[in-house]
Amino acid sequence: MQQTVEIEKRHYADYLKKAEEFFQGLKEAVQAGRWNAVGLNAIHCVISASDAMTTYHLQQRSASDRHQDAAYLLKKLPLPGAMEKTKQFLDVLNLKNKIEYQYTLVSEKEALQLAKQAERFYSWAKENLPRSKD
């Protein structure tokens, strides 16, 4: 059974704010050619955007230690493109261990691909969520 927690719908805005900050960090890192930072910001952007989506639409988020388990909730979203975006989410997360814990550096090509995937996922999330009020 998947580990989830109930969460009030209104908290989606907090996760969306985090996703926005990670996305901005991603763009700044691309400009500066900091490829490892691009990778980490991309990963954390999609995690926060995913939490925003499941919080708003399902009033749940994953409580698992494995971020990949959040895909279970993403698949349940009653939205067009949810299955495709779940795959995109997993594609980004599959690099998390390599980027965060291994000695291997992120290449420019990998970073730019991650940035593109994160931007698409983040944009999809924003299109399917109300604008938050800061």
Residue 83, pLDDT score: 93
Residue 97, pLDDT score: 85
d(CA 100, CA 118): 17
The pTM of the full predicted model, rounded to 2 decimals, is 0.93
**CA-CA distances (angstroms) from residue 90 to 35, 41, 82, 118?**
20, 15, 12, 11
Q: For residue 23, what are the contacts with CB-CB under 8 A and spacing of at least 6?
A: 41, 45, 118, 119, 122
Ordered domains of the chain (ranges, CATH): 4-127 (1.20.120.330)
Q: Which residues of the chain carry a pLDDT beneath 70?
A: 1-2, 132-134
Instruction: Using DSSP, state whether 80 is helix, strand or coil.
Output: coil
Contact 78, 57 (CB under 8 A): yes
CB atoms within 10 A of CB 32: 10
Residue 67, pLDDT score: 77
| Greatest pairwise CA separation for the chain in angstroms | 43
